[in-house]
């Protein structure tokens, strides 16, 4: 019976930790409807430069539209009908702007987290990036948030607070930090009924807020994979000379709360990495191809820059001899409701657009390559007509 007693006391020793993971699981489920697979055993360091994978998929701005985000992922053969990751060893890059304009921002953050964990187990990798809207929201600029988006954060806080209350009732657990500490109880000029929602949004997304720390601190601001540079807005020579690794680390440290309220200058000014439109706006004639050439030359081995940020009404397109690739198709219902398209870069077949656009199914002269996934078609880049963009503020 000695064994039994030993068992009983050791059972209780484990309970605080088990209660803590129970609460986290319950809160996650209540907020997102998801049960996440276990996280990787050790935290993955931020990637800045990665070798070329066999298959690289790039996805543009998502802006709170979960359903269209899933359509894009399905089009690329990355998730199945049950939303499970089936992309194998692919590397997937989402170029930022998950937040604002749509109603399911948290649900997308959670969904991407689930896919990151599933992908890691099958040798794949999903890398998320900062767009200007991530930076804005961490700084408390909520001008492009939707009413339902703010409500989603209010509901998040309800569950998160209950979770903390449950944890604080267990004596063996350290008292959880209060994420509302320092958050104003009201906002001047804002209608009363929205105060709770904005308080929750501030608490969640400000530097070191639970959502910022958990999800956004994994984002990179600039990424080089093989011969492609990924950046939300655009890279300029001064960014390269400042140091790409340094940029990624500084922005991450800011999101984690160690450098105050405002992001580094290169995220805030018009020529910041997440704001530049120099290479994503206008058609071939309007793009300064020699300036682009000059930036590419600052990053050894770089042949092209892949960008989001500016909605491309014609879909994914390229200018400057496939050196500037613009992948923001404005898929969110909150801005454009564009047809989902993603970019595929593979060792063998080069650059390809995977599109949901039915127009291209019968287009004789388009170089279509059936990728065998749902309604998806492969189009070799450059087969689109002249690019036209929609200018959207921020």
Partner 1 sequence: MGQIESAEAVAEPQTTANDTSKPTSLESALAEAAEYGSQHTESVEEMAQKALECPCIADLRTGPCDSQFSEAFLCFLKSTSEEKGSDCVHPFVALQSCIKANPDAFSNDIVRKEESNELGPALEYKIHPPKWSKESRSSKSRL
- 184 is an interface residue for partner 1 by CB under 8 A: yes
**Closer residue to partner 1, CB minimum distance, 147 or 363:** 147
Which residue of 52, 194, 196, 253 would you call a contact of partner 1, by CB under 8 A?
194
The nearest distance, CB 128 to partner 1, in angstroms, is 21
**Closer residue to partner 1, CB minimum distance, 18 or 359:** 18
Please list the residues that pair with 343 across neighbouring strands: 58, 353
Residue positions counted in the chain: 394
Question: Measuring CA to CA, which residue among 121, 95, 124 is closest to residue 222?
Answer: 95
* Segment interacting with partner 1 (CB under 8 A) among 9-17, 103-111, 322-330, 333-341: 9-17
The nearest distance, CB 140 to partner 1, in angstroms, is 4
- Positions 310 through 349 that interact with partner 1 (CB under 8 A): none
- 262 is an interface residue for partner 1 by CB under 8 A: no
Question: For residues 361 and 368, what is the distance between their CA atoms, to the nearest angstrom?
Answer: 8
- 285 is an interface residue for partner 1 by CB under 8 A: no
**DSSP letters for 13-74:** HHHHHHHHHHHHHHHHHHHHS--PPPPPSSPPPPPSEEPPPSEEEEE---TT-HHHHHHHHH
**Alpha carbon distance, N-terminus to C-terminus of the chain:** 69
Total chain residues near partner 1 (CB under 8 A): 58
The nearest distance, CB 12 to partner 1, in angstroms, is 4
Question: Measuring CA to CA, which residue among 60, 76, 71 is closest to residue 316?
Answer: 60
* Segment interacting with partner 1 (CB under 8 A) among 25-33, 230-238, 283-291, 329-337: 25-33
Reading the block at residue 119, the tokens are 């992908």
* Ranges of H-type helices in 206-288: 210-214, 237-242, 244-255, 265-268
- 39 is an interface residue for partner 1 by CB under 8 A: no
Binding mask of the shown chain, residues 48 to 67, with x at each position contacting partner 1 by CB under 8 A: --------------------
Contact of 36 with 74, CB cutoff 8 Å: no
Question: For residues 338 and 86, what is the distance between their CA atoms, to the nearest angstrom?
Answer: 25
Which residue of 81, 181, 370, 372 would you call a contact of partner 1, by CB under 8 A?
181
Sign of torsion over alpha carbons 123, 124, 125, 126:
negative
- If one counts every other C-beta atom within 10 angstroms of the C-beta of residue 324, the result is 23
**Closer residue to partner 1, CB minimum distance, 150 or 353:** 150
Question: For residues 220 and 363, what is the distance between their CA atoms, to the nearest angstrom?
Answer: 38
- 140 is an interface residue for partner 1 by CB under 8 A: yes
The nearest distance, CB 301 to partner 1, in angstroms, is 31
63, 130, 133, 384: which is the annotated catalytic residue? 133
- 180 is an interface residue for partner 1 by CB under 8 A: yes
- 178 is an interface residue for partner 1 by CB under 8 A: yes
| 3-class state of residue 84 by DSSP | coil
The nearest distance, CB 253 to partner 1, in angstroms, is 18
Q: Is 171 a catalytic residue?
A: no
| 3-class state of residue 122 by DSSP | coil
- 145 is an interface residue for partner 1 by CB under 8 A: yes
Residues labelled catalytic:
133
Residues that bind partner 1 (CB under 8 A): 7-8, 10-19, 21-22, 25-26, 29-30, 35-38, 41, 140-147, 150, 158, 162, 164-166, 168-173, 175, 178, 180-185, 187, 189-191, 194, 198, 202
């Amino acid at each position: 019976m000695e064994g039994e007693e030993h068992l009983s006391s050791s059972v209780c020793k484990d309970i605080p930790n088990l209660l803590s993971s129970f609460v986290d699981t319950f809160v996650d489920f209540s907020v997102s409807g998801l049960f996440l697979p276990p996280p990787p055993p050790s935290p993955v360091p931020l990637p800045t430069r990665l070798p070329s994978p066999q298959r690289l998929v790039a996805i543009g701005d998502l802006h709170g539209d979960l359903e269209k985000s899933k359509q894009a992922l399905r089009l690329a053969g990355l998730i199945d009908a049950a939303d499970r990751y089936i992309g194998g060893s692919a590397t997937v890059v989402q170029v930022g702007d998950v937040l604002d304009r749509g109603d399911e921002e948290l649900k997308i953050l959670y969904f991407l987290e689930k896919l990151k964990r599933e992908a890691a187990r099958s040798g794949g990798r999903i890398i998320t990036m900062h767009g200007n809207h991530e930076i804005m929201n961490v700084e408390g600029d909520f001008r492009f948030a939707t009413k339902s988006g703010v409500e989603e954060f209010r509901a998040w806080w309800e569950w998160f607070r209950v979770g903390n209350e449950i944890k604080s009732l267990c004596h063996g657990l350290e008292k959880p930090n209060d994420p509302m500490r320092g958050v104003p109880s009201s906002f001047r000029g804002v209608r009363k009924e929205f105060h709770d929602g904005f308080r929750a949004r501030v608490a969640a997304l400000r530097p070191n807020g639970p959502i910022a720390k958990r999800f956004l601190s994994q984002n990179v601001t600039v990424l080089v994979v093989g011969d492609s540079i990924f950046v939300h807005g655009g890279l300029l020579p001064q960014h390269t000379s400042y140091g790409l690794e340094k940029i990624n680390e500084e922005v991450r440290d800011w999101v984690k709360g160690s450098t105050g309220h405002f992001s580094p200058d290169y995220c805030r000014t018009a020529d910041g990495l997440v704001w530049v439109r120099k290479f994503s706006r206008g058609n071939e004639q309007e793009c300064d191809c020699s300036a682009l050439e000059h930036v590419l030359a600052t990053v050894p081995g770089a042949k092209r820059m892949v960008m989001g940020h500016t909605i491309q009404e014609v879909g994914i397109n390229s200018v400057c001899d496939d050196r500037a690739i613009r992948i923001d198709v404005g898929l969110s219902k909150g801005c454009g409701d564009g047809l989902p398209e993603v970019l595929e870069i593979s060792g063998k077949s080069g650059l390809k657009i995977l599109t949901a656009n039915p127009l291209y199914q019968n287009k004789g002269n388009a170089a279509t390559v059936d990728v065998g996934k749902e309604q998806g078609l492969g189009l070799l880049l450059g087969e689109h007509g002249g690019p036209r963009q929609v200018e959207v503020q921020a």
